Amino acid sequence: MSQIALPLVWPADPRDDEFLVSPSNERAVHTLDRWATWPVMTALLVGPRKSGRSLLARIFAAKSGGTIIDDAPSRPDTELFHEWNRAQEQRRPLLLVADVAPPDWEVQLPDLCSRLAATPLAQIGPPDDALMRALLEREFGRRSLDARPDLIDWLLTRIERSHLAVIRCVDALDQEVMERRKRLSIPLARTALANAALITTPPEP
C-alpha cells in the first residue's frame, strides 16, 4: 500500500470542517466524494468510535445536498427501508452511518437486508502511523499542550492504535499537567498513562 507522508485535509476549503485523510480512510473519502457514480443513491459509512465518521458524513451532506442517518442501526428497519427507497425515487443521495456493516449489523427485515447488500460501503479503518501522529498533534494543540516530537514518538509505540485511544491519552495527560502543574514530558506521560491503564507495555524503570 502506498503511504502518504502526512495526512491531507479534506476538503481543502478552509471554511469547511477539517477531516484528516490518510491511507486508513482515503477510500471512504473517495467513495463519498464520487457519490454521483454510486450504483444506487445510498451508501453505508462505517468506522470506529471517534474516527470522524459523523464529521465526514456532515461534510458529505453539505457538498452533495444529500441526507444522513447517523447511528443507523438504532433506527427501525422499516424506517431505513423506506428512506432507502425514497432516496432512489428522489435521486437524492442518502448516507447511513454505523459502527459496522451487515452481517455484523444484524438486520432483521429481509427487504432492507437485500438493499444494504447492494449499497456501496465506505469504511474507515484503524488509524495508520501518519494519522496517529497527526491526531495526537492536533489534540495536543487544541489543549495548548507543548507536546514535543520525542514525546509523540514515544506515545506512538505505546498507546493502542485507535482514534478513541488518542482522545483518552491526551485527556489523561491534560488532566495530569493541570493537577501537577508540570511540563509535559515522557516521564510524566509514562506515570500518568500507566496509572490510567492506557499504555500497552509496563511502566519503564
With a CB cutoff of 8 Å and minimum separation 6, the contacts of 86 are 94
Q: What percent of the chain has pLDDT over 70?
A: 89
Domain span including residue 39:
8-123
C-alpha grid cell, residue 116: 444494504
Q: Do 133 and 188 belong together in one domain?
A: yes
Q: Do 143 and 77 belong together in one domain?
A: no
- Using omega within 30 degrees of 0 as the cis cutoff, is the peptide bond preceding 11 cis? yes
Q: Do 52 and 140 belong together in one domain?
A: no
Helix and strand numbers, DSSP H then E, in the chain: 8, 6
CA angle 42, 43, 49 (to 5 degrees): 140
Least confident of 7-11, 40-44, 190-194: 7-11
Q: Do 75 and 98 belong together in one domain?
A: yes
Q: Please, are residues 116 and 107 in contact by the beta-carbon 8 Å criterion?
A: yes
The answer, yes or no, to whether residue 141 has pLDDT greater than 70, is yes
Domain membership of residue 1 (yes or no) is no
Q: Do 94 and 174 belong together in one domain?
A: no
Task: Give me the number of domains the chain comprises.
Answer: 2
Domain membership of residue 136 (yes or no) is yes
pLDDT grade, residue 17 (50/70/90)? low
Output the pLDDT for position 1: 28
Size (the chain), residues: 205
Q: Write the pLDDT tens digit of every residue in 108-121.
A: 999 999 999 999 99
- The Cα–Cα gap between 136 and 166 comes to 6
The answer, yes or no, to whether residue 2 has pLDDT greater than 90, is no
Output the pLDDT for position 49: 86
Name the average pLDDT for the chain. Answer: 88
CA angle 22, 105, 10 (to 5 degrees): 20
Question: Which CATH number belongs to the domain containing residue 140 in this structure?
Answer: 1.10.8
Q: Do 16 and 115 belong together in one domain?
A: yes
